[in-house]
């Protein structure tokens, strides 16, 4: 996403979307314009490129899994410096750990991409003969005020092309733009409403087209709003490495389930509870969780770890304890 222009586009779209000055009144028009200008100054322009994380992950002896990631700056991991901190790299490593098979990652996302740009990305993806595709897109459709019906139509077409090629597809729906701190109220609330509306429409359209969906806005929005310093990067617009890891925790179960490496028969909370071996989290998350819960066993698997809750042995009467 072009973050320097995003706030301005939101303000312009907010005015035109509800009827302009005649409906809002001059005072609100001025307020939204001022908020957009302040947010634009606070966010600044994009600096650098997303790190390239393409390659083979894992050392299993099974057949290689072809994994493609499509979409916008969130799909790219824009804002982090280490390729291993991008969503594609973390998820490829997690899939390799769970499957015991090497995973070949091909990242095709483009900073600033809208849903209309998926067609070209799908062309490139099909050259990789993908087994699994992750699509994260929608934020730029909101800032450019693309009609949700058009966004969903284009998303469904992309999914159908991938599915026709035998590729499993998971869609991370539009994130909650109302969590972006430099955007003040009431512009922030407008952004939240539009992004959540698009996410709901994406869910319906993607499922109908044969994909699984993960609601990034509803799962991550409250966490990002509560801890913006930790989960957003220096620009306060794109996620930090911890923020991307949070998204990966939400996405990994659906990606693994699409390939048959995660149980669909149990109820999980999106953080690994449905995996038969226990909770699967990035190592930093696993360490923090283990520190809080007594009796938690942590088993590293690359950049991820499996948590198992070991039941403590029952306390024995003193006389029996002495004879053990």
Q: Of 1, 213, 10, 198, which Cα lies nearest the Cα of 110?
A: 1
Contact between residue 238 and residue 175 where contact means Cβ atoms under 8 Å apart: no
Q: Write the DSSP string, 202-237.
A: HHHHHHHTT-EEE-HHHHHHHHHHH-HHHHB-TTSS
The phi, psi pair for 298, rounded to 5°, reads -115, 125
Q: Quick check: is 73 catalytic?
A: yes
List the catalytic residue out of 238, 240, 246, 254: 238
- Distance linking the first and last C-alpha atoms of the chain: 64
List the catalytic residue out of 73, 99, 195, 215: 73
| Cα–Cα distance, 8 to 198 (Å, whole number) | 19
Question: 141 by DSSP, 3-state: which?
Answer: helix
Using alpha carbons, list the distances in angstroms from residue 252 to 85, 194, 248, 249. 15, 26, 6, 6
List the catalytic residue out of 215, 235, 254, 275: 235
> Is the backbone peptide bond immediately before 214 cis, with ω within 30 degrees of 0?
no
Q: Of 38, 9, 33, which Cα lies nearest the Cα of 236?
A: 38
Cα dihedral across residues 77, 84, 56, 275: positive or negative: negative
**Catalytic (active-site) positions:** 73, 235, 238
């Amino acid at each position: 996403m072009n973050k320097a222009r995003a706030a301005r586009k939101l303000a312009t779209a907010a005015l035109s979307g509800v009827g302009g000055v005649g409906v809002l009144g001059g005072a609100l028009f001025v307020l939204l314009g001022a908020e957009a200008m302040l947010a634009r100054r606070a966010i600044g322009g994009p600096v650098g490129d997303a790190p390239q994380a393409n390659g083979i992950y894992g050392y299993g002896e099974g057949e290689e899994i072809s994994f493609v990631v499509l979409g916008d700056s969130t799909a790219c991991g824009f804002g982090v410096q280490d390729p291993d901190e991008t969503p594609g790299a973390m998820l490829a490593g997690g899939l390799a750990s769970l499957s015991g098979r090497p995973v070949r990652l091909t990242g095709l996302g483009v900073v600033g991409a809208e849903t209309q740009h998926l067609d070209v990305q799908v062309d490139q993806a099909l050259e990789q003969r993908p087994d699994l595709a992750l699509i994260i897109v929608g934020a730029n459709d909101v800032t450019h005020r693309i009609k949700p019906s058009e966004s969903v139509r284009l998303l469904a077409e992309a999914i159908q092309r991938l599915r026709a090629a035998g590729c499993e597809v998971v869609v991370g729906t539009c994130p909650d733009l109302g969590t972006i701190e430099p955007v003040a109220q009431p512009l922030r609330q407008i952004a939240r409403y539009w992004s959540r509306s698009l996410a709901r429409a994406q869910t319906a359209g993607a499922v109908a087209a044969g994909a699984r969906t993960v609601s990034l806005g509803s799962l991550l929005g409250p966490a990002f709003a509560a801890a913006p310093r930790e989960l957003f990067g220096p620009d306060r617009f794109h996620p930090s490495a911890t923020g991307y890891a949070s998204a990966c925790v939400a996405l990994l179960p659906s990606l693994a389930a699409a390939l048959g490496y995660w149980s669909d028969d149990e109820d999980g909370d999106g953080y690994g509870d449905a995996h038969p071996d226990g909770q699967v989290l990035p190592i930093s998350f696993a360490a923090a969780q283990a520190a809080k819960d007594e009796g938690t066993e942590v088993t590293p698997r690359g950049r991820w770890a499996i948590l198992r809750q070991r039941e403590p042995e029952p306390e024995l009467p003193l006389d029996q304890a002495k004879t053990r």
